[in-house]
Amino acid sequence: MLRFASIDIGSNAIRMLFEQVYETDNGPVFKKLTLVRLPVRLGEDAFVHGEISKDKEEKMLHIAHSFKHLSEVFEIDGYLATATSAMRDSKNGIKIIDRIKNETGVKVKIIAGEEEAKILYESIFNTGKIEKDKSYMFIDVGGGSTEINFFVNGVRKKWKSFNIGTVRLKEGIQKESEWDRFDKWIKKNVDQFQPDFAVGTGGNINKLYKLCRLSDWENLERAMLKSKIKYLSQFKPKQLINKLDIKSDRADVIVPGGGIYLRAMEVAQISEMIVPKVGLPDGLIRRLYFSSKKN
């Protein structure tokens, strides 16, 4: 029995995940010990001002200390910690990562969007729910970037990261030229790979899926997604918090976030989406486990 942990330092929140792995005759079973989601919106600093503020830098340091202490409590066998779009775009990102390592011992790696997408695919593929003889378009939407991947017969064929994200949209700094790149690239690759389904990952699609009251692994239809986004767009963030019990740091980005998934599906003319409810923290732990088995 092994225990692993991960940190995902995203643009809209920071997540710490601790899991226990049971090895069975049918393969490993990953059981969540705890997931801590911390509403530290780094994207507000990174995308608007170009660097992380001192206040949020201090919060990140406290989180790293907490992660270290929790790792000792859970007696983990290893961890992976990554930072994505906001830290990639911050001119003081490397400096903060170095400070975290020096003061807490926690090693954080800033990863490219393409690597982020690869980790997510590995995680979803290892669920055993993705068919090898089908073609899929993976859509992962974050606060600062959106990753699109095309997989055919279990092989990743094309991938690209776009500077399109929920925090950029919320702050009104999303460049229209990036949308043009997004649309053209998807159309070109859909013509080539003809995806059967979309696969959506990220906190916003997970919440939208839950609001649609679908059962696990039941496909989300594009028309249903469009209808739910239209319904939510009637309300202000405060109303979404009170009426639908949506977290405050989700309420102001769920509609623009859903719009990114919907646009990708409409451009690709895909009618159904699989929502595995697996995120980057899960993928990091699975990568860590399989790496440990190889070694």
Give the fold, CATH level 3, of 129-277: Nucleotidyltransferase; domain 5 (3.30.420)
| pTM assigned to the model | 0.87
Same-fold call for 2-113 versus 129-277? yes
Query: Rounded to 5 degrees, what angle do the CA atoms 190, 185, 123 make?
Result: 70
Indicate whether 109 pLDDT > 80. Answer: yes
pLDDT higher than 80, residue 295: no
Mean pLDDT of 123-127: 76
pLDDT of residue 158: 93
CATH code matching the domain that covers 2-113, chosen among 3.40.50.720, 3.90.1150.10, 3.30.420.40, 3.40.640.10:
3.30.420.40
Could you tell me if residue 164 is left (phi over 0), alpha (psi between -120 and 50 degrees) or otherwise beta? Answer: beta
Q: What is the DSSP letter of 269?
A: T
pLDDT tens profile 57-108? 999 999 999 999 999 999 999 999 999 999 999 999 999 999 999 999 999 9
Reduce the DSSP state of residue 175 to 3 states and report it: coil
Could you report how far apart the first and last alpha carbons of the chain are, in Å? 16
Whether residue 130 has pLDDT greater than 90:
no
Tokens of 293: 């088995």
Domain ranges of the chain: 2-113, 129-277
Mean pLDDT in residue range 235-239: 95
Exposed, middle or buried by CB within 10 Å (0-12, 13-18, 19+), for 149? buried
Rounded to the nearest integer, the mean pLDDT of the chain is 94
Percentage of residues of the chain with pLDDT beyond 90: 83
Dump the DSSP string for 104-145: H----EE--HHHHHHHHHHHHHTTT-S-TTSEEEEEEE-SS-
CB 205 within 8 A of CB 258: yes
